[in-house]
């Protein structure tokens, strides 16, 4: 089992719809969870992080964390074509300060 798993996609949604991206992780003691966006040929940029169970909202983005299920998700409301990118889930695991990224989910927002 990989430390962080994501559905590689591609995920396609129409403009204005809600995009839902999911991530599971293996280490139950993990503390911090991050969502990064990566455009093709560019480096990852942080969207938001979460470390408490529940929802955290920032503009059109909502991160959801369920530690009991070892599951973290990202919702993008009112999706725009400019949101088309690969979304990377990253987890700061409790053991040895390890930091793991998933393989990313490719999102395409169709105008």
The residues that touch another protein, with contacts defined as CB under 8 A, are 4, 31-32, 34, 42-46, 49, 51, 88, 90, 92, 96-104
Nearer to another protein, 34 or 76 (CB): 34
Of 106, 104, 110, which is closest to residue 5 (Cα–Cα)?
A: 104
Smallest distance from another protein to CB 96, Å = 6
Q: Are 104 and 6 in contact (CB under 8 A)?
A: yes
Strand partners, 31: none
Q: Based on CB atoms, which residue is closest to another protein, 14 or 54?
A: 54
Nearer to another protein, 41 or 111 (CB): 41
What is the nearest approach in angstroms of another protein to the Cβ of residue 74?
Answer: 15
Burial of 36 (0-12, 13-18, 19+ CB in 10 A): buried
Strand partners, 54: 65
With respect to another protein, which residue has the nearer C-beta, 29 or 111? 29
Q: Closest approach of Cβ 64 to another protein, in Å?
A: 16
Rounded to an integer, what distance in angstroms lies between the CA atom of residue 111 and that of residue 2?
A: 34
How near is the Cβ of 33 to another protein at its closest, in Å?
A: 10
């Amino acid at each position: 089992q990989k430390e962080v798993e994501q559905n590689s996609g591609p995920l396609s949604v129409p403009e204005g719809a809600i995009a839902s991206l999911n991530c599971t992780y293996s280490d139950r003691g993990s503390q911090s969870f991050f969502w990064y966006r990566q455009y093709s040929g560019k480096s990852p940029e942080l969207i938001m992080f979460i470390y408490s169970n529940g929802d955290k909202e920032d503009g059109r983005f909502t991160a959801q964390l369920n530690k009991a299920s070892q599951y973290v998700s990202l919702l993008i409301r009112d999706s725009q074509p400019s949101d088309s990118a690969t979304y990377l889930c990253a987890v700061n695991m409790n053991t040895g300060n390890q930091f793991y990224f998933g393989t990313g989910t490719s999102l395409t927002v169709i105008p």
